[in-house]
Amino acid sequence: MKLAIIGGGPAGFYLASRILSRSSDPALRIHIFDRLWSPHGLVRYGVAPDHPEVKNCTHKFDEQVASDGRFSFFGNVNVGNSAPLQNTIHIPLRDIQRNYSHLVFTTGCTVPTNHSALPPSPWVIPALRFVHWYTQHPSSPPAPALDKMTRVALIGNGNVALDIARMLLTDPSVLQQYDVPVSVLSILKQSKVSHVDILARRGPLQAAFTAKELRELLNLPNAAMEPIPSELLAIPADTTPSRAQSRIFQLLQKGSKMSFGNTPKSFSLRFFVNPTGLVPPLSEGMPQLQLEQTSLDAAGRALSGSRLPPLPVSLVVPSIGLQPDPALGPIRTRAGRVLSANGHSVLKNMYAAGWAATGARGVIATTMMDAYAVGDTLLDDLGGCEGEMHMNPEPSDDRPPEVIQTANRIVTSYADWKRVDAEEVRRGQQQGKERERMTWSEARAFLWDL
């Protein structure tokens, strides 16, 4: 088997680790391609800086994947029609099909879901862009003008929304010990944001955040939560909450560590509220977020209701989900196997794992289990899986496509990444922090003395 994995995030590395651990075949080759110059995808560019423990999975990737001589990583390689980034090389998907016997898509979900009532504007930016700003993603989104903002509204109450709220409400002197670039810290130190509204169209029982994320927000030393109306925190008599729901209700009933009105910053968790539009500011005023009251039907879907007073905001950040890159087309699967366009047949030796197959749901541990399952399916299929042939069953050699072999000072290897990784940690230690990140231009100059 000569396997190409498209996408170097946790799904791709977990899948590679599963196959390498189960196969003793010395002829096995696994090549991971990523359009970013560094590996680990969501772990590096999606995990909040103050959650360093979540990134510990990269140690496993180092020890169980990258150390295996049958594995190679190729960064700055854009496969197929996915959105290109600057300084990458392009490989048509057909070249992968010619050069490999098996293919797994682990391309994740890289496109934010837009809110129908909130088109992008100077006052509306998707959560993904905000996260990519503070993690210094190679797409290089511009920094938000936090020095001119006082109130931010987050639409959606998943963990990403709470991550952003925490970044805005935590004192930069606390954040500077973590993996936060100096340029980001500089903006956060100038921030005038004093209040964050977190809006959800359903209730506390349907909250998407975890108890851990909520607890961290409630325990901030310089920010307090606006009290939630008691009627919203009463569990209906005909409802038996899960253990996770019970913990969340207990935390919400207890409230924030600090008393509301006695801290320099504050936040609110508003339930059964849905935005219906945004009115731009008049002269020196603030934009007005138009809102409606919602309720739930018998199936738990949010229903529109009466109009609520508008909410003055400096910035609105929708955080309502992510979608796969539409340029790659929808990847339909059955038990991890990719299906034909009509969904009737399996494409032999083609698979998808992680969010590319399941959609953007679950945490990294969920992705790990899915990737393991797909890896097991792939190995089980080696004995023969009927389907339309879309890969070359007998690649001529174990090398990557020729365009990679001839690329000079663009394509990165895992060894290149480890050199950068060590240097980022070294630079961070000099500043008393976890690491100081490099941009691609800095990494390229460091690697090749440019």
Reported confidence tier of residue 342, pLDDT bands at 50, 70, 90: confident
Strand (E) or helix (H) holding 26? none
Percent of the chain past pLDDT 90, that is, above it, reads 84
Task: Express each pLDDT in 203-221 by its tens digit.
Answer: 999 999 999 999 999 999 9
**pLDDT for residue 186 is more than 70:** yes
- Compute the mean pLDDT over every residue in the chain, rounded to the nearest whole number: 94
**pLDDT for residue 98 is more than 70:** yes
Residue among 411, 346, 342, 331 nearest 109 (CA)? 331
Answer yes or no: is 316 a known binding residue.
Answer: no
Instruction: Please tell me the number of Cα atoms within 13 Å of 378 on its side-chain side.
Output: 31
Rounded Cα distance between 397 and 388, Å, is: 23
Say which residue, 344 or 96, is predicted with more confidence. Answer: 96
**The pLDDT value given to residue 384:** 66
**The pLDDT value given to residue 365:** 93
Answer yes or no: is 89 a known binding residue.
Answer: no
**pLDDT for residue 270 is more than 70:** yes
Q: What is the mean pLDDT of residues 237-241?
A: 87
Strand (E) or helix (H) holding 434? none
**The pLDDT value given to residue 89:** 93
Per-domain boundaries in the chain = 2-110+324-412, 113-321
Answer yes or no: is 362 a known binding residue.
Answer: yes
Q: Which CATH architecture has domain 2-110+324-412?
A: 3-Layer(aba) Sandwich (3.40)
Answer yes or no: is 99 a known binding residue.
Answer: no
Task: Express each pLDDT in 48-63 by its tens digit.
Answer: 999 999 999 999 999 9
Class of domain 113-321: alpha beta
Answer yes or no: is 440 a known binding residue.
Answer: no
Answer yes or no: is 211 a known binding residue.
Answer: no
Reported confidence tier of residue 325, pLDDT bands at 50, 70, 90: confident
Least confident residue range of 33-47, 280-294, 304-318: 280-294
**pLDDT for residue 386 is more than 80:** no
Helix axes 243-254, 211-218, angle to 10 degrees: 10
Answer yes or no: is 56 a known binding residue.
Answer: no
Instruction: Please tell me the number of Cα atoms within 13 Å of 199 on its side-chain side.
Output: 25
Answer yes or no: is 363 a known binding residue.
Answer: yes
Q: What's the whole-model pTM score?
A: 0.94
> Is 248:211 a contact under the CB 8 Å cutoff?
yes
**The pLDDT value given to residue 391:** 86
Answer yes or no: is 202 a known binding residue.
Answer: yes
Answer yes or no: is 42 a known binding residue.
Answer: yes
**The pLDDT value given to residue 284:** 79
